[in-house]
Structure 1
Amino acid sequence: MTDMLTFGTEEARRIERTYRTPDVIRQRRIVLDTLALQPGEKVVDIGCGPGLLAAEMAAEVGTQGHVIGIDVSDSMLTLARSRADVESGGIVDLHRATADQLPCADNSIDAAVSTQVLEYVEDVAGALAEVHRVLVPGGRLAVLDTDWDSLVWHCTDRPRMARILAEWDRHLADPYLPRTLLRTLRQAGFDAGPPRVIPLLNVGYQSNTFSACLIDTVASYVVGRDGLTANEAAAWSHDLATLGEDYFFSLNRYLFIATKR
């Protein structure tokens, strides 16, 4: 049973701040370099969020290219549209849509990207079948997701941390998706090799890091779940933020590159 994280206006802006941290900026650069977009290509961003990746892809495909961004959150799309109007030169189209119903014709897309999205999807095989439908033969797909079992997060109260992280796992359909994704990609008609590991490592507390931003998201989500109170969530947040040089966070993300047969 899952209780998905939803993205209202406050949550969307919190995620946008996270996406602007050096950790996630580096992650986007790796995804873009690996996808190797070419001028004039047509690309779809599945779960575009606040639109930073879509805007950067628009710069790579140029004015002869086309970027389609989809998301299920109206708040995310509002942020993405404001960014697209300013940064994309009009070549980014944004739609409210799900991963299993892409607003694209058959065999019409050169490349697709899904970052931190499929772990929220109940029917991953169905979503990959939809990506396979819209890609041209030989089209590329980049998928990046987290295995939350790889999380190492230092604290002074381990039982409290365990309770909070157990509830946090419930915000996803599959918090351990990467370990089964290679087989699912191949079964969906893609050629894919082993993924690249992208670690997120924060040592010493700094506010402008992925994990520091994540603290607020986790604390907000867990209140009221498994009896966790606002005071407990605040105490957990304070504990982490005051560890100073002893602060330690490590999490693995996995980047898969696949091609349509």
Structure 2
Amino acid sequence: MLSFDEAGARRLEAVYTTPDVAGQRHDVRRILALRPGEQVVDIGAGPGLLAVEMAAEVGPDGGVHAVEPSESMRARAQARARPPGAAHIEVSDGSADALPLPDSSVDAAVSTQVFEYLHDVPGALAEVHRVLRPGGRVLLLDTDWDSIVWHTRDDARTARILAAWDEHLADPHLPRTLAPALRAAGFSAVLTRVLPLLNIGYDPNSYSAMTASTIAEYVTGRAGISGADAQAWLDDVTSLGEAAFFSLNRYAFLADR
């Protein structure tokens, strides 16, 4: 698993501020379709960017509960400025399988890039079901890492790097089984949308460029990958210029309680 100490939190926050991920948050909010006055929980809220945007949507009569297990991430979420007229944001220590909320207390729940890290997805879905009010809705966004297309000069090396990168997740292919898991947990009307990340041409302020350095650091020493191997791969993907190409699919699941 990835750890989010101060340096890790700072790096992830930088990724979240790229145009790619900002656009993803816009799509998530469009699908969730929050209304003024609603109560919403952001499960695995990270540095609080989505929570702040949702606070503006639900307004002063609504509320946002940002649940995050990382202390460094919670500090960033606490420090993030709220726009005028936004809802109060309650930032709490907690996790997907232990939400610090009463039964039937929120109208909506959202979790982006969290459930693929969980070893007990059914348990976490049961917890989401518990805190949602009848008629409430949940939106889960996760990645199938087999959907990645990353142009490099050495495809065999890239395949080894990405196979080692899969080890940072409990399930790198979670979207394939998430719809039936939601139904088994008591949710209904499951709708699915694909949200692709696409980078053409190298841009240091892109999801792929920033994630490449994280991948290179993580895979070093895993699956027989040396530091030299990881650095050679990183040098490759960051030196392609206009020939760079990256695509990755994330899948949004919207379901009713």
**TM superposition score normalised by structure 1:** 0.95
Alpha-carbon separation, structure 1, partners of 2:7 and 2:208: 18
Match of 2:178 among 178, 181, 202: 181
- Candidates 142, 152, 160, aligned match of 1:155: 152
Instruction: Decide whether the 8 Å contact of 1:11 with 1:217 is kept in 2.
Output: no
Match for residue 81 of structure 1? 78
> What is the alpha-carbon distance in structure 1 between the residues aligned to residue 255 and residue 65 of structure 2?
19
1:119: which partner in 2?
Answer: 116
Map of 2:67 onto structure 1: 70
Task: Find the partner of 2:24 among 24, 27, 36.
Answer: 27
- Report the Cα distance in structure 1 between the residues aligned to 2:181 and 2:188, rounded to whole angstroms: 11
CA deviations on 1:128-157 (whole Å, 9 max, x unpaired) are: 100000100010101100000101111111
Give the aligned partner of residue 255 of structure 2: 258
- Residue 159 of structure 1 and its aligned partner are, at CA, apart by 2.0
Find the counterpart in structure 1 of residue 37 from structure 2: 40
Deviation (angstroms), 1:90: 6.9
Please state whether the residue corresponding to 2:107 is helix, strand or coil. strand
Partner-residue secondary structure (3-state), 1:183: helix
Matched, 1:133 2:123: no
Tell whether the 8 Å contact from 1:49 to 1:77 is kept in structure 2 after alignment: yes
Q: Which residue does 1:51 correspond to in 2?
A: 48
What's the offset of the Cα at 1:194? 3.9
SS in structure 2 at match of 1:195: strand
Would the aligned equivalents of 2:63 and 2:87 in 1 still touch at CA under 8 Å? no
Q: In the alignment, which residue of structure 1 is the partner of 2:216?
A: 219
Query: What TM-score do you get using the length of structure 2 for normalisation?
Result: 0.96
Task: Name structure 2 gaps, 5 residues minimum.
Answer: none
Residue identity (%): 58
Is the Cα–Cα contact under 8 Å of residues 119 and 174 in structure 1 kept in the other structure? yes
Aligned residues: 255
2:149–2:246 CA contact under 8 A, matched in 1: yes
**Contact 2:112–2:141 at 8 Å: present in 1 too?**
yes
Q: Secondary structure at the match of 1:159?
A: helix
Q: C-alpha separation between the residues in 2 aligned to 1:257 and 1:194?
A: 5
Q: Contact conserved, 1:182 with 1:192, CA < 8 A, in 2? A: no
Q: Following the alignment from structure 1 to structure 2, what is the Cα–Cα distance between the partners of residues 111 and 193?
A: 14
The answer as to whether partners of 2:219 and 2:225 remain within 8 angstroms in 1 is yes
Q: CA deviation at 1:19?
A: 0.8
| Deviations, residues 207-256 of structure 1 (Å, cap 9, x unaligned) | 11111111111111111212322222221111111111111111100011
Contact 1:196 1:255 in 2 (8 A): yes
